[in-house]
Structure 1
Amino acid sequence: MSTITLPNGHPLEYVEVGEGGIPLLLVHGYPLDQSMWKPQMEGLHGVRCIAPDLRGFGASCFSPAPNTLSEHADDLAALLDALKIERAVIAGLSMGGYIAFEFVRRHRERLLGLILLDTSPRPDDEATRAARNTTIERAASEGVGPIALALGAKLFADGVTRKMRDTVISLMALTPRESIIAASTAIRDRADSRDLLPTLANTPTLVVVGSEDRLTPPDVARAMAAAIPGATLVEIDGAGHLPTLERPAETTAAMQQFLDRLPAGR
Structure 2
Amino acid sequence: MPSIMSADRLKIAYSDEGQGIPVVLLHGYCGDRHYFDEAVPMLSWRFRVIAPDCRGHGESGATEGAYPMERLAQDVVDLLDELKIERAFVFGHSMGGYAALAFAEKHPERLLGFGLLHSTTYPDDEAGKAGREKVAKRVAEEGIKGHIDDLIPKLFAPDHRTTMPEKLAFAREIGYRTSPQGAIGGALGMKDRPDRLHVLKEAQVPVLLLAGEADAVIAPEKRFPANGPHITPLTLAQAGHMGMLEKPLAFAQTIVEFVDRSMEAKDKSRDV
How does the TM-score come out when normalised to structure 1? 0.93
- How many residues of Structure 1 are paired with residues of Structure 2 in the alignment? 260
Counterpart mapping for 1:47-62 below 5 A: 47-60=47-60, 62=61
Does 1:43 find its partner at 2:45? no
**Superimposed CA distance per residue, residues 97-153 of structure 1 (whole angstroms, 9 cap, x where no aligned partner):** 000111012111100001211111111001111111110111111111111011112
The answer to whether 1:181 aligns with 2:175 is: no
Shift of 1:18: 0.1
1:5-59 CA-to-partner distances (Å, cap 9, x unmatched) read 222222211000102x110011110010001111221111321000001111101
Post-superposition CA distance 1:215-244 (Å, at most 9, x none): 0133322334x2x54311111111000101
In the alignment, what sits opposite 2:30? 31
Corresponding residue to 2:223 among 221, 224, 234: 221
Contact 1:152 1:169 in 2 (8 A): yes
Partner of 1:92: 92
Matches within 5 A, 1:80-159: 80-159=80-159
SS in 2 for 1:25: strand
Structure 1 match to 2:165:
162
Q: Within 1, Cα distance between the matches of 2:132 and 2:176?
A: 17
Partner of 1:3: 3
Code of the aligned partner of 2:42: G
Query: d(CA) in 1 for partners of 2:110 and 2:224?
Result: 26
Structure 2 residue aligned with 1:208? 210
Q: Which amino acid aligns with 2:220?
A: P
Q: Which amino acid aligns with 1:136?
A: A
Partner of 1:254: 254
TM-score of the aligned structures, taking structure 2 as reference length: 0.91
- In the other structure, the counterpart of 2:196 is 193
Deviates more, 1:156-165 or 1:237-246: 156-165
- 2:12 match: secondary structure: strand
Give, in whole Å, the separation in 2 of the partners of 1:163 and 1:128: 29
Tell whether the 8 Å contact from 1:4 to 1:13 is kept in structure 2 after alignment: yes
Question: What CA distance in whole angstroms lies between the structure 2 residues aligned with 1:91 and 1:69?
Answer: 14
Match of 2:269?
Answer: none
Q: CA RMSD in A?
A: 1.6
Structure 2 residue identity aligned to 1:156: F
Maintained 8 Å contact 2:206/2:231: yes
Contact 1:209-1:217 at 8 Å conserved across structures = no
* Contact 1:156 1:239 (C-alpha < 8 Å) held by counterparts: yes
| Equivalent-residue separation in structure 1 for 2:229 and 2:135 (angstroms) | 36
Letter of the 2:32 partner, please give it: D
Amino-acid identity (%): 33
Q: Partners of 1:9 and 1:153 in 2: how far apart?
A: 35
* SS at 2:262 equivalent: coil
Aligned equivalents of 1:146 and 1:174: distance in 2?
A: 13
Q: Is the 8 A contact 2:120 2:225 kept in 1?
A: no
Letter of the 2:177 counterpart = L
In the alignment, is residue 74 of structure 1 matched against residue 77 of structure 2?
no
